[in-house]
Amino acid sequence: MQELTDPRAMRAWSRATRRAGARVAFVPTMGALHEGHLRLLDRARECADRVVVSIFVNPLQFGPQEDFASYPRDLGRDRALADRRGADALFAPGPDAMYPVEPLVRLAPGPMAEAFEGAVRPGHFAGVLTVVAKLFHAVEPDVAVFGRKDFQQAMLVRRMVADLDFPLEVDVAPTVRELDGLALSSRNAYLKGDERRSALALSRALRAVEQAWRAGQADPAALVGRGLEALRVPGVSPDYLALVDDQLRPVARADAATVVITAARLGRTRLLDNAVLGEGVARDPVAGAP
Ligand code: AMP
């Protein structure tokens, strides 16, 4: 596995690789790699000849009160995991390589970024899309793979690529879960004591909505009520639970393509989860299973 820290060196590697006729797939991450990230690498491998993974904790997407300083970082461990999972290149730039000066010009993600995560984390998606655009310029991939776990982010990246004519495909992979249903997340490491058990409220809420929908309920308000009921667990403070389409718009009636999105706080930890009604949490891949 090649390791690159400079965006120009990354671009040179990628251009040489593509000139030689290979298709390049790219998996951007903030590190603290877990099986969810590693499945994205597997997926990248399926759609390309060479796989690039990046590790960069992007200061631009964290609010002043958020966990930028304490975000888990372990490049040695991540390097070994990415190498073992067959990545061809690891792009791990330092903050100065990505931002030699603080960028004045940033992407404006528009109304899709205003609700949900965007409402709770002002400026978050401007930071995300700005770094993703910069990473795309460094890697120039044929395809980039994102996780559905961060649904609003994945849909915004899709729109950015379409609206701004980035010459690449965006692939969105299903959420990898623990056996008990908890979506894998680097932030799960923050959960203390009872919080790990309480965190199951999120996937349970998604299941409750899905079950009610399968039983014939299609009214969004009634379905949201079912979900919020399941989120009523001591120690869990829901930020939102909503039924949306792939443009993050509220739906008038729930159908198989409707996505239930939710976020909640447990102590100082914020967790996100979502499920497509027609697919359901139970069908998501489980960490550890082949
Ligand atoms: P992060 O390092 O948290 O920024 O995530 C990097 C990429 O991995 C994003 O595209 C995430 O959506 C994706 N990801 C994170 N957790 C999971 C998961 N449990 N299953 C699938 N993809 C995930």
Query: Which atom number of ligand 1 is nearest to the Cα of residue 284?
Result: 20
* Coil, helix or strand at residue 262: strand
Residue 216 has a pLDDT of 98
Express each pLDDT in 21-58 by its tens digit: 999 999 999 999 999 999 999 999 999 999 999 999 99
What percent of the chain lies above the pLDDT cut of 70? 100
Burial of 289 (0-12, 13-18, 19+ CB in 10 A): exposed
Contact 186 CB / ligand 1 (< 6 Å): yes
Span from the CA of 146 to the centroid of ligand 1 (angstroms): 7
Angstrom CA distances, 7 to 49, 56, 91, 114, stand at 21, 12, 8, 30
Cα separation, 261 vs 115, whole angstroms: 12
Span from the CA of 284 to the centroid of ligand 1 (angstroms): 14
Contact 147 CB / ligand 1 (< 6 Å): yes
Express each pLDDT in 255-264 by its tens digit: 999 999 999 9
Angstrom CA distances, 87 to 11, 46, 58, 246, stand at 16, 12, 21, 30
Per the residue annotation, which of 34, 37, 124, 137 is the catalytic one? 37
Contact 150 CB / ligand 1 (< 6 Å): yes
Active site annotation includes 37: yes
Span from the CA of 147 to the centroid of ligand 1 (angstroms): 5
Express each pLDDT in 197-219 by its tens digit: 999 999 999 999 999 999 999 99
Residue 290 has a pLDDT of 67
Angle at 124 between CA 123 and CA 128, to 5 degrees: 120
Burial of 215 (0-12, 13-18, 19+ CB in 10 A): exposed
Contact 149 CB / ligand 1 (< 6 Å): yes
- Across the strands, what pairs with 154? none
Span from the CA of 149 to the centroid of ligand 1 (angstroms): 6
